[in-house]
Amino acid sequence: MTCIGRHLTIDMYGCNYDHLNNLEFIKTAMLTAIRETNLEVLDLVGHQTEPQGLTVIALLGQSHMSIHTFPEQRYVAVDIFTFGDYTRPDRALTVLKSFLKPDKTRTTNIMRGDFGLQKDMKPRIRVSIAPLRRVRNTSARVWRFLRNK
């Protein structure tokens, strides 16, 4: 099965405090990034949080983009999900970096809809056998205790 889309999660550290509390600046940065990626904006919503910080979410014709700012930590969380061969979410990342100027960036690239092998589609269940081991060890101690009596 081929990949349906790309999902980038970006953590930006050490950004300019004043820009992170400026709703119009973040909206401008997001709209510029969206234009660079050949995406169509259906709706753009911004919300100023109290006491500081903001959230901007763009509904796109080809998915979504969101930015959450935390000025007190100088931190920005960005989420970009796109599908289609012609979209370039990495270009959006470059534009956002040029606007926000982070000291450090951590990007996670997730290939959405890429299931790989059939066995990879099964959920992985981790089972801890420590409680069973404790019961077994306890019963062994009880038997030793009874034998010594």
Q: Do the Cβ atoms of 8 and 88 come closer than 8 Å?
A: no
Least confident span in 10-14, 25-29, 38-42 = 38-42
Flag whether pLDDT at 126 surpasses 60.
Answer: no
Q: Which helix (H) or strand (E) holds 20?
A: helix 17-20
Flag whether pLDDT at 27 surpasses 60.
Answer: yes
pLDDT at residue number 89: 82
DSSP three-state, residue 32: helix
Question: Does 115 or 72 have the greater pLDDT score?
Answer: 72
Half-sphere exposure in the Cβ direction for 57 (13 Å, CA): 6
Cα 138-140-143 angle, rounded to 5 deg: 110
Sign of CA dihedral 115, 118, 124, 125: positive
Q: Roughly what angle, to the nearest 10 degrees, separates helices 23-36 and 89-100?
A: 150
pLDDT at residue number 79: 95
Question: Does 63 or 135 have the greater pLDDT score?
Answer: 63
Half-sphere exposure in the Cβ direction for 18 (13 Å, CA): 0
pTM of the model: 0.72
Question: Does 124 or 4 have the greater pLDDT score?
Answer: 4
User: 5-121 belongs to which CATH class?
Assistant: alpha beta
pLDDT tens readout for residues 56-112: 999 998 789 999 999 999 999 999 998 876 778 888 899 999 999 999 999 988 887
